[in-house]
């Protein structure tokens, strides 16, 4: 396998990463230098597997086969002939130029992977193993593409398993990478911090799920479990009507409460980062604070089932948060007061 040169690596975890990661790019770029290459590459490879799974013009069985092929690149030695099959079958169908380019540069990604230390390669391989198996399960669980083929999870456990496979495993990977590469974290309790890191990832994914319900319903996916809907006398199909919101409110609020509980774990995780690790603190603060602001908007909104309403934190609020956290990222007292204010705004009114 050819060695990836510095210029190619910089393009992968610079412009290409920026174009495919969108809002998460700032978080990746603020990471300490020792963490940035491997975690950024892990993110790129996860986005590549997302692209494989989401290329709807390609039959599901073929996408599942390509996910297996992609995972085998981590379990065995990378085979450029196999990644060429993925490119040939999928790259031409990408509507976003960055995702097309990512598939076209898979061999460069694997060359960069080969240049990393063995332990980092193993961690990235374990991460992509969980993610790709979760994506395969997702293609089976949700076999349709339109609202007429709507499918749903049955139980809370299925939802929890999904949030782990999509994002909780990323929290585990992130924690292991931080502990391995940052001397200041050698005092961390690995089991405790890994458990908190997993819940950190689940908090962010559950926020996305609760924000994107209308969009997901129209591509045949209901992540709210049937057993919870049934308690309110609802079926997944009922959520296609925004007028259902009054009956759905209690179910929805309970899921917002669950997300808040996960954010509490994410906050304990963040405060366990030493003050000297300012960059790592920022990388955790930003998604937590933006996530809590998103939950507050969802809590107050009666439009969460309306496909024409996109609930997002205003860019001005994001900019002020970015500036404020840069100034105060080493002050536990100020940050904790800020977190508790945001949490109160996202909680149920007593």
Q: How far apart are CA 179 and CA 110, in angstroms?
A: 24
Mean local confidence (pLDDT), 185-206: 97
Percent of the chain with pLDDT strictly greater than 90 = 90
pLDDT band at 159 (very low <50, low <70, confident <90, very high): very high
The whole-number pLDDT of residue 172 equals 98
Per-residue pLDDT band at 3 (split at 50, 70, 90): low
Q: Is the pLDDT of residue 79 over 90?
A: no
Is the model's pLDDT at 280 over the cut of 50?
A: yes
CATH class of the domain at 143-350:
mainly alpha
Contact 226, 154 (CB under 8 A): yes
Closest residue by Cα to residue 206 from 244, 261, 152: 261
Report the C-alpha gap between 26 and 34 in whole angstroms: 16
Q: Which of 36, 34, 33 lies closest to 25 in space, CA to CA?
A: 36
Q: How far apart are CA 309 and CA 297, in angstroms?
A: 12
Mean pLDDT calculated for residue range 154-160: 97
Q: What is the pTM of this model?
A: 0.94
Q: Is the pLDDT of residue 331 over 90?
A: yes
- CB within 8 Å of 192: residues ≥ 6 apart: none
Question: Across residues 210-234, what is the average pLDDT?
Answer: 97
pLDDT value for 348: 84
Q: Which of 21-25, 90-94, 272-276 has the lowest mean pLDDT?
A: 21-25
Dist. CA 112–CA 89, nearest whole Å? 23
For the stretch 225-262, pLDDT in tens is 999 999 999 999 999 999 999 999 999 999 999 999 99
Tell me whether residue 93 is exposed, middle or buried, using C-beta atoms within 10 angstroms of its C-beta: 0 to 12, 13 to 18, 19 or more. middle
Average pLDDT over residues 291-310: 96
Alpha-carbon gap, residue 202 to 134, rounded angstroms: 14
> CATH 1.10.600.10 region(s) of the chain?
143-350
Residue 78: predicted pLDDT = 86
What pLDDT was estimated at residue 1? 41
Assign residue 196 a region (left: φ > 0; alpha: ψ between -120 and 50; beta: otherwise): alpha
* Nearest-10 Cα torsion for 7, 8, 9, 12: 130
């Amino acid at each position: 396998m050819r060695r990836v040169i510095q210029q190619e690596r910089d393009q992968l975890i610079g412009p290409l990463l920026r174009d495919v990661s969108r809002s998460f790019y700032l978080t990746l770029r603020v990471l300490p230098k020792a963490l940035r290459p491997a975690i950024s590459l892990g993110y790129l490879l996860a986005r590549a597997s997302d692209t494989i799974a989401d290329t709807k013009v390609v039959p599901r069985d073929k996408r599942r086969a390509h996910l297996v092929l992609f995972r085998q690149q981590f379990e065995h030695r990378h085979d450029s002939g196999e990644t060429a099959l993925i490119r040939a079958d999928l790259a031409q169908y990408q509507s976003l130029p960055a995702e097309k380019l990512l598939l076209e540069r898979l061999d460069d990604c694997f060359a960069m992977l080969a240049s990393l230390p063995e332990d980092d390669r193993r961690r990235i391989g374990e991460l992509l193993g969980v993610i790709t198996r979760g994506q395969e399960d997702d293609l089976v669980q949700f076999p349709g593409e339109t609202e007429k083929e709507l499918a749903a999870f049955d139980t809370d456990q299925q939802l929890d398993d999904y949030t782990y496979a999509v994002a909780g495993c990323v929290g585990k990977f992130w924690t292991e990478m931080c502990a391995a590469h940052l001397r200041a974290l050698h005092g961390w309790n690995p089991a405790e911090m890994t458990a908190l890191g997993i819940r950190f990832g689940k908090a962010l994914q559950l926020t996305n799920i609760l924000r994107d319900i209308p969009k997901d319903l129209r591509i045949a996916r209901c992540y709210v479990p049937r057993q919870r809907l049934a308690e309110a006398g609802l079926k997944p199909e009922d959520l296609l009507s925004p007028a259902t919101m009054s009956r759905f409110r209690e179910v929805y609020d309970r899921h917002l409460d669950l997300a808040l509980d996960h954010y509490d774990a994410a906050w304990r995780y963040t405060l366990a980062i030493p003050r000297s690790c300012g960059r790592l603190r920022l990388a955790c603060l930003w998604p937590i604070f933006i996530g809590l602001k998103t939950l507050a908007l969802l809590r107050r909104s009666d439009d969460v089932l309306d496909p024409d309403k996109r609930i997002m934190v205003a860019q001005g609020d994001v900019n002020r948060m970015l500036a404020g956290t840069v100034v105060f990222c080493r002050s536990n007292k100020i940050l904790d007061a800020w977190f508790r204010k945001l949490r109160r705004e996202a909680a149920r009114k007593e």
